[in-house]
Amino acid sequence: MAERPMRHCLFLLASLLLTTVATSNATTVVKNLDLKRYMGRWYEIASFPSFFQPKNGENTRATYTLRATYTLNDNGTVHVLNEDFVDGKRSYVEGIAYKADPKSDEAKLKVKFYVPPSVPIFPVIGDYWVLYIDQDYQNAVVGGPTKIFLWILSRKSHIDDATYKELVEKAKNEGYDVSKLRKTPQSEKPPPAAEEGV
């Protein structure tokens, strides 16, 4: 199956609405990911460009925020809330993430969203592979089997250059073309938390 993007999704897991095909290049994936520790808010520090995200942060550099909030459900799945703020205007999409293989110890998740978000009709499922997570669960590298998409995430909206370079190197070692990475122009003061579905 070919990868196909969803027009309305604006960030990270929303980007994973792409059906994927396996590649021959082996990818190292985090094992025994502690989902409880992984829950909470993550900010996109950098990513491979996608047509549904603002190109080069044009007209949004001062008031732009991309973030995802994950919440563990009672059944072991993960509620996903992706938010995008441009000039103070909030857009969002909600979905569900779950382990691709419940018996595996690898952090290979599937993410399901329904499109369009305003009137959910069609389910679209994509891959979410945690390639790296630091010991404190503060910074992460996320990709998938095709190496077409890549995200560098952090609990903070901004990270120092040394940390960024370390995360980029992790991705490079997994065979990603890191020259395609573009930093996300996060606003200096991220918007306050919002209720899901609001």
Structure tokens at 120: 């959910």
Per-residue model confidence as pLDDT tens digits over 158-197: 999 999 999 999 999 999 999 999 998 887 776 666 544 4
- The whole-number average pLDDT for the span 3-21 is 40
List, in sequence order, every residue forming a beta bridge with 182; answer none if it has no partner: 47
Residue 4 pLDDT > 70: no
All structural domains of the chain, each given as residue ranges with its CATH number in brackets, are 12-183 (2.40.128.20)
Structure tokens at 60: 């949004």
CB 146 within 8 A of CB 117: no
Closest CA to 3 of 148, 186, 188, 143: 148
Q: Does the global pTM surpass 0.85?
A: no
Give the C-alpha separation, 135 to 138, whole Å.
8
Residue pointed to by tokens 């679209």: 124
The torsion angles phi and psi of 164, rounded to 5 degrees, stand at -60, -45
CB 129 within 8 A of CB 150: no
- The whole-number average pLDDT for the span 40-67 is 66
Per-residue model confidence as pLDDT tens digits over 96-151: 999 999 999 999 999 998 777 666 678 888 899 999 999 999 999 999 998 988 99
The pLDDT confidence band at residue 57, using thresholds 50, 70 and 90, is: very low
Residue 40 pLDDT > 90: yes
CB 150 within 8 A of CB 50: no
DSSP state of 145: T
Lowest mean pLDDT across 28-42, 44-58, 82-96, 152-166: 44-58
